[in-house]
A and B are shown apart, each in its own frame.
Chain A
Amino acid sequence: MTLQEPLVRIEGISKRFGKTVAVHEMHLEIAKGEFVTFLGPSGCGKSTTLRILGGFERPDTGRVLLGGEDITGQAPERRHINMVFQDYALFPHMTVAQNMAFGLELKGMGRAAIATRLKELMAFLEISDFGDRYPSQLSGGQRQRVALARALAPDPSLLLLDEPLGALDAKLRTQVQLELKSIQRRTHKTFFFVTHDQNEALTMSDRIVVMNGGRIEQDGTPEDLYFRPQSRFVAEFVGETNLLEGQVRGRDGEDILFDWCGVTLRGRAHADAVKPGDDVAASLRLERVGLYPTKPETANALQGTIAERVFLGSRTAIDVAVGEQGDRRLRAYADNETLAALPDAPIWLSWDSPSLSILNR
């Protein structure tokens, strides 16, 4: 394997179940050591893609390569890929240690070597005390760890994780997210994570692949997806945003001129070019909107009146009525100090052009 060779290469895979298209002509490369997350709503094809990688589904077309080797038709037991299942799928009649040893025994590893490996891994994942317990005697978080330990034990090239945090309560989930990221960093393993939870994806991933209707919507870093969404789907699915429905007027250097609500705004397009006259939407993140008592000298400035305040603790979300009739709303965050300093009169909203993402049609 050369340095340029990706660990996983997905070449145009498609999969249908009856009339439903689960995955459509997907191309993707995953580099060694990456934490890649597949993000999307249920039924978007993310789990099917994962199951194709695991060998539990066979794609109708296309190939899957692992380290340059075509594994499309290979049985799951022959792949150097392990999976953490959504329901953990621990063997109920085996202890934690027996569960973890299962994969190693089948690889033909000797007793002594298995014992060493288990000891090391259990210490690493802090489950040394549970070796003799049965899965039914563990809490949800502990089972999750055991499932991870069992999948990591055979030292797979690629680890698949199918919404493994879904069954945990919210507080535990945040903690486990950070742990999982740290485990991935320390083991230098390639993680392929599937979730429908955008927070989870943003917290843990090096790279996020957003899927919708069997296709990849956008593939990029968490910052890319959040601040530079390419499509309306991504802008709405990841985080909270203002969606502005308007028309493209033209171009000025890098900026795209965008008519909305009687004014011309400046934004950027992060994907395919949009043409003048196109009716498109633009995304403006709440925290990118600045609030001023007087008109600032920036690319975009709009006047409006505060219509609604929602106190959130460390900051306040405000809805500002803008437009000629004051019938459009833009939502922004304000520091509590900034808000106190604002006059009880029309205020100015402002943001720079890269903050306004002109989305694909």
Chain B
Amino acid sequence: MSRSGRVVLSIFFWAFVVYLFVPLVLMIVMGFKDSRFIGFPIRSVTFDWYLGVFADAEIMYTFFYSVVIAIASTVAAVIIGTWLAFLLNSWRFMGRAAIYGMMILPALIPGIISAIAFRIYARQLHIEPGMFAIIWAHAVHNVPFVTLVVMARLSTLPRSMGEAARDLGADPFVVLMRVTMPYLRPAIIGASIFCLLLSFDDFVRSFFLGSYQPTLPVLIFAKLRSGMSPEINAIATAALILTAILGIWAERSSRHLARESKS
């Protein structure tokens, strides 16, 4: 490629990076502004908004409420999703295609529609809006992601691996615990983190199925309605840093695990 071509290409690249990151950077910067009014110029800098967020019992409670929901829904989704992956991967049976289709559906339905459907169904089942309902909806929504990731990994497990374990004296349960599950570990960890982030980030389902206690995205939304303030920037920045750390760690560790277990 010619020199000028490379220059043009790198200009495009950096322009795209700016386009992607300027909103985030602005959001972070505004969290430090010593004024209620968001916008330039910034005359003085303060940590008060952040301190305020960490001192605010409501925000902190909401944060942990969201975390608990994320963890519980992830545990449920991983258990059901992995089980489904085994079922769909094991043998061809009647109705396999139907189960596969139903498994994948929650990932494809628009959030607003599934949220309304959940709300209606929850009422039918006499499930009160609140924590359990949100966990339930998040878990159902996240199952397909777990199943797809685990199935992809499971399909690369050579049949001989399980046979080798049997050959060496392992009964089917020992094969599952000592060979199959460790082999699936990178996939399960990756899927779990993805589920945690999906749940933590979810607004629509949490909004429709929640009670008076909001999740973090719902709380931010509520605060937005009473006017934008740097406090929101501070909450968002804290959440951004947390999820970014989790995401990067997941990416790196799953890459490491995948490398280790490649044979």
> Quick check: A83 and B260 within 8 Å, CB to CB?
no
> Quick check: B168 and A102 within 8 Å, CB to CB?
yes
> Quick check: B163 and A106 within 8 Å, CB to CB?
no
Is there a chain A Cβ closer than 8 Å to B5's Cβ?
Answer: no
Is there a chain A Cβ closer than 8 Å to B126's Cβ?
Answer: no
Identify B165's interface contact among A75, A92, A102, CB under 8 A.
A102
Report chain B residues within 8 Å CB of A82. 167-168
Is there a chain A Cβ closer than 8 Å to B160's Cβ?
Answer: yes
Instruction: Give A6 to B175 CA distance when docked, in angstroms.
Output: 32
Report chain B residues within 8 Å CB of A81. 167
Where chain B touches its partner, the secondary structure class is helix
Within 8 A of B (CB), among A89-142: 89-93, 102-103, 106-107, 134-136
> Quick check: B160 and A87 within 8 Å, CB to CB?
yes
Q: Nearest CB to that of B161 among chain A residues?
A: A89
Is there a chain A Cβ closer than 8 Å to B110's Cβ?
Answer: no
1/0 per position for B155-180, CB-CB distance to A under 8 A?
00010110111111111001000110
Q: Would you give the shortest CB distance from B186 to chain A, in whole angstroms?
A: 9
Is there a chain B Cβ closer than 8 Å to A86's Cβ?
Answer: yes
Report chain A residues within 8 Å CB of B160. 85-87, 89
> Quick check: A107 and B169 within 8 Å, CB to CB?
yes
Instruction: Give A92 to B166 CA distance when docked, in angstroms.
Output: 16
Report chain B residues within 8 Å CB of A93. 182-183, 185, 260-261
Q: Nearest CB to that of A86 among chain B residues?
A: B160
Is there a chain A Cβ closer than 8 Å to B3's Cβ?
Answer: no
Within 8 A of A (CB), among B127-180: 158, 160-161, 163-171, 174, 178-179
Instruction: Give A259 to B183 CA distance when docked, in angstroms.
Output: 65
Instruction: Give A125 to B178 CA distance when docked, in angstroms.
Output: 26
Q: Would you give the shortest CB distance from A107 to chain B, in whole angstroms?
A: 6
Given A93-B182, A93-B183, A77 contacting B164 (CB threshold 8 A): no
Q: Nearest CB to that of B175 among chain A residues?
A: A77
> Quick check: A136 and B168 within 8 Å, CB to CB?
no
Q: Nearest CB to that of A108 among chain B residues?
A: B169
Report chain A residues within 8 Å CB of B43. none
Is there a chain B Cβ closer than 8 Å to A76's Cβ?
Answer: yes
> Quick check: A87 and B158 within 8 Å, CB to CB?
yes
Within 8 A of A (CB), among B206-263: 259-263
> Quick check: A85 and B260 within 8 Å, CB to CB?
no
Q: Which of A55, A92, A135, A154 gathers the greatest number of chain B CB atoms within 10 Å?
A: A92
Instruction: Give A102 to B262 CA distance when docked, in angstroms.
Output: 19
Q: Nearest CB to that of B157 among chain A residues?
A: A92
> Quick check: A77 and B262 within 8 Å, CB to CB?
no
Within 8 A of B (CB), among A147-163: 150-151, 154
Instruction: Give A205 to B263 CA distance when docked, in angstroms.
Output: 30
> Quick check: A77 and B260 within 8 Å, CB to CB?
no
Q: Nearest CB to that of A150 among chain B residues?
A: B168
Q: Would you give the shortest CB distance from A105 to chain B, in whole angstroms?
A: 8
Q: Would you give the shortest CB distance from B169 to chain A, in whole angstroms?
A: 4
Instruction: Give A75 to B171 CA distance when docked, in angstroms.
Output: 9
Instruction: Give A54 to B160 CA distance when docked, in angstroms.
Output: 12
> What are 13 residue pairs bridging A and B, where the CB atoms are less than 8 Å apart in the complex?
A55-B167, A77-B166, A87-B158, A89-B158, A89-B161, A91-B161, A93-B260, A102-B178, A106-B168, A134-B260, A134-B261, A136-B260, A143-B263
Besides A91-B164, A135-B263, 11 new A-B residue pairs in contact (Cβ under 8 A), listed by A number: A81-B167, A83-B164, A85-B160, A102-B168, A103-B169, A106-B174, A134-B261, A136-B259, A136-B260, A136-B262, A154-B169
Q: Interface residues, chain B, CB within 8 Å of chain A?
A: 158, 160-161, 163-171, 174, 178-179, 182-183, 185, 259-263
